[in-house]
Structure 1
Amino acid sequence: MLLYIIAYDIPVDKRRKKISDLLEGYGRRVQYSVFECVLTAPKYTELKKRLKKQVVISEDSIRFYPLSSHTLEKIEVWGGLPVSQLPGSVIV
């Protein structure tokens, strides 16, 4: 499993709502248009496939940032929710 940061910019309200609802089924919202999702490789593939059906590439933008365990140790959070944890991981 990896932690993915997924950020989007969707200008159409109806489409943005569908995409945010979809992402809420895979992770948690940490900012208005940013989600943290702890996903297996098959779940990540499934999510991208489902998102691809909703996104209009000429208008929308979605970015996927996979984070390694090494990177997780260096994340700083100022306010808001703590970083999502990978199962079995400990961040000190």
Structure 2
Amino acid sequence: MSKKKKFYVVVYDIRADRSRDKVSKLLEKYGIRVNYSVFECLFTEKQLLSVQEKVDKIINKRCDAVIYYHICLDCYTKIIYQPRRIVSPKLVDVV
């Protein structure tokens, strides 16, 4: 039985190159980069918490920011990409 995954848009503003690279490599394991500092990811609840803990250890809490936007399935279907995107995350386990 597969675990239910939820769709998140993760955005960040991280000053240090090294920290920014670490966060982007971490997020690449769960989703796709859609802009320089924007990822679309699929997380189980456990994966989300793990990523948040890892990010917390990487970033400088005084000047960096990472934001996780949970997007419901209904809202996900209404996302508009301009220009139109070819690749999108699989929604097989999204609820």
Moved beyond 3 Å, runs of 4+: 80-83
- Say if 1:22 and 1:88 are closer, same or farther in 2 by CA, change over 3 A: closer
Q: Percent identity over the alignment? A: 31
Is it true that 1:74 corresponds to 2:60 in the alignment? no
What's the TM-score once normalised by structure 1's chain length? 0.86
* Structure 1 CA distance for aligned equivalents of residues 77 and 91 of structure 2: 12
Equivalent AA in structure 2 for residue 84 of structure 1: P
Verify the 8 A CA contact 1:2 1:39 in the aligned structure 2: yes
Aligned length: 89
**1:1-92 equivalences in 2 (<5 Å):** 1-79=5-83, 80-87=85-92
- How far is 1:50 from its partner? 1.0
The unaligned stretches of length 5 or more in structure 2 are none
Query: Normalization by structure 2: what TM-score?
Result: 0.84
Quick one: structure 1 residues 81 and 35, their matched pair in 2 at CA, closer, same or farther if it must change by over 3 Å? Answer: farther
CA RMSD of aligned residues (A): 1.6
Q: Partner letter of residue 92 of structure 2?
A: P
